[in-house]
Amino acid sequence: MSSAAHALPVFDSPFALVARRGRHVVAELRMPAKVLSTCSVNGGLRADVRHLVNHQSCEPVKHQERFAYITGLGPEGYHRSVCDELELAPGTTAVMGTAAAMQYLGIATHTHGELSITAIVTGGVTGNAGSAGDTACYDEADGKWVRTVLADAATKQPGTHSGTINTLLFLSAPLSDAALARAAMTMTEAKTSALLELAIGSLSSWRLATGTGTDQYAIAAPAAGPAARTWTGKHTKAGELIGRAVRDATLEALRWGNGLERSYTRSIFHALGRFGLKEETFKTQLAGFLDAAQCQLLKDNWNPVIYEPQTAAAYAFAAVLDRTLAGTLAPATAREALINQAALLAAGLATRPEAFPSLRAELVNALPVDLAVAPESLLPAAVELGTRAIALGWQRKWQR
C-alpha cells in the first residue's frame, strides 16, 4: 500500500499540503510555484517543482550500511530511489535529507493581513554545529570530495558529524526573484538567531555557532497572484514574519530533536563548553582543588551544582572570553575581568555575595600575568580558573 494512504497532515493551506509519511515529510504544492532550494537534484531557482520532501535518510550514528547505500547510488540515483518510494515524479520533486527524525518537527505560522508565512523545521546541532569561517575539512576537486584536514590544533573536532537543520518555508504571496533571494538571507539570519538564543557553541572553534555544516532549505511561494512582494528584508513585514516563523520553528525543532530546553542551557558546561570545559577534565581538576570528601559531595549533588541559577555568571565569564578573543579587550584588561567574573561565579555558587572580595583575593593569582590572547594559551588557563572558582564556591558554601 502506498505511504500516501497513511499520510498524516501537519500543515494545510490553499498553497500547500504538508503531510508526514513515516520517515518522510512531503509538501504538495497546490498551484504553480517559485521554489528556491539547496537540493542537489532540482535545486536552485525552479518553476517546475511540485513536491518538496524532507526525510530521515539515516540514523545519526554509525549507520554504515545506509551510508554505503546512499553514496553507492550517487545524488541522482538516491533522488530517484526516494521519489520511487513515495511514488512521486523525480523530475518535479526536490528532496532534502537529514538524520533527524520527522517526528520532531518544529512548525510555526505568522500572519499579517493577507500574508501568511509558515516554517517547518527539523533540527540537530549537538554533533555538527559550526561557525561560518571555521576550518573546513573537505574540498571538492574534479567531482570528488577530498579530505583536507586530518588533525588541526585550531579545531576541536575537525570533520563533519551528525546534525542538520532543514527548513521548509512557505509564503502565501508571490515573490520577485530578488525577494526570494532575500528571503533566504532573512531565513538564515533567523536560524542563527535561534542558535544564539540557545548559546550553541561551534564544535570547531571557540565561537558561537551560526548553523551546521549540512543545513539545507527549500522556500516556496506562488508563481502568480495578488499582493506580490518585492523585498523580504528585516524592515518589511514579510521579513519580520519570515524571521519569527523560522526562529520559532527552529527553537521548537531543537527542543524536541536535541532536548535543548532553554532552562537547561544554564548549565556551566553549556556556557563554557565551547572553550574546553568538559565534564571529564572538570572532574579531574576538581580533585586537585577539593579534598576527597568535598569532591565526592559535589559529585553526589552534580545537577544542583552545574544547573545552579547563580552560576549563570559563567555566561558573563564566557562573554569576557569572547571579547578577548575578538580583540575587544587587551590581555591585561581581560585578566582582571576574568578574575572578577570568576569571583562572581564562586560567590554565586556559595550563595554568599558578600564574600566576593575575599573570593577574588583567593583567585587573583590563578591566571598568569603574561596572559596571551591566542586561544591555545588563553583558553586552558581560563577554563582552569573557572573550575577553581566552582571549587572555591563549593568550599565556601559549607564553611561555618
CATH code at position 93 = 3.60.70
Residue span of the structural domain in which 112 resides: 3-260
pLDDT in tens, 49-103: 999 999 999 988 889 999 899 999 999 999 999 999 999 999 999 999 999 999 9
Asked if 181 and 45 sit in the same domain, the reply is yes
Asked if 18 and 107 sit in the same domain, the reply is yes
Asked if 354 and 245 sit in the same domain, the reply is no
Residue 150: predicted pLDDT:
61
**Per-residue buried b or exposed e for 328-356, using 16+ beta carbons within 10 Å of the residue's own CB:** ebebeebbebbbbbbbbbbbbbbebeebb
Residue 301: predicted pLDDT:
97
Query: Which residues of the chain, if any, have pLDDT below 70?
Result: 1-3, 5, 150-161
pLDDT in tens, 252-303: 999 999 999 999 899 999 999 999 999 999 999 999 999 999 999 999 999 9
Q: What percent of the chain stands above pLDDT 70?
A: 96
How many other CB atoms sit within 10 Å of the CB of residue 303? 8
Residue 2: predicted pLDDT:
59
Asked if 252 and 329 sit in the same domain, the reply is no
Structural domain count of the chain: 2
Asked if 241 and 343 sit in the same domain, the reply is no
CA atoms within 13 A on the CB side of 378: 24
Asked if 39 and 181 sit in the same domain, the reply is yes
Residue 26: predicted pLDDT:
98
- Final residue of a domain: which of 221, 238, 260? 260
- Final residue of a domain: which of 240, 260, 280? 260
- Alpha-carbon span 260 to 256, nearest angstrom: 7
Asked if 40 and 100 sit in the same domain, the reply is yes
Asked if 66 and 199 sit in the same domain, the reply is yes
Bridge partners, residue 19, by sequence: 9, 26
Residue 227: predicted pLDDT:
86
Asked if 211 and 355 sit in the same domain, the reply is no
- Alpha-carbon span 209 to 260, nearest angstrom: 14
Asked if 167 and 28 sit in the same domain, the reply is yes
Residue 368: predicted pLDDT:
86
- Final residue of a domain: which of 242, 260, 278? 260
| C-alpha pair distances (Å), 120 with each of 68, 104, 105, 247, 351 | 29, 10, 7, 11, 43
- 208 DSSP assignment: B
| C-alpha pair distances (Å), 133 with each of 137, 152, 205, 213 | 12, 15, 10, 11
- 217 DSSP assignment: E
Asked if 182 and 62 sit in the same domain, the reply is yes
Residue 161: predicted pLDDT:
60
Question: Whole-structure pTM over 0.85, yes or no?
Answer: yes
Asked if 227 and 327 sit in the same domain, the reply is no
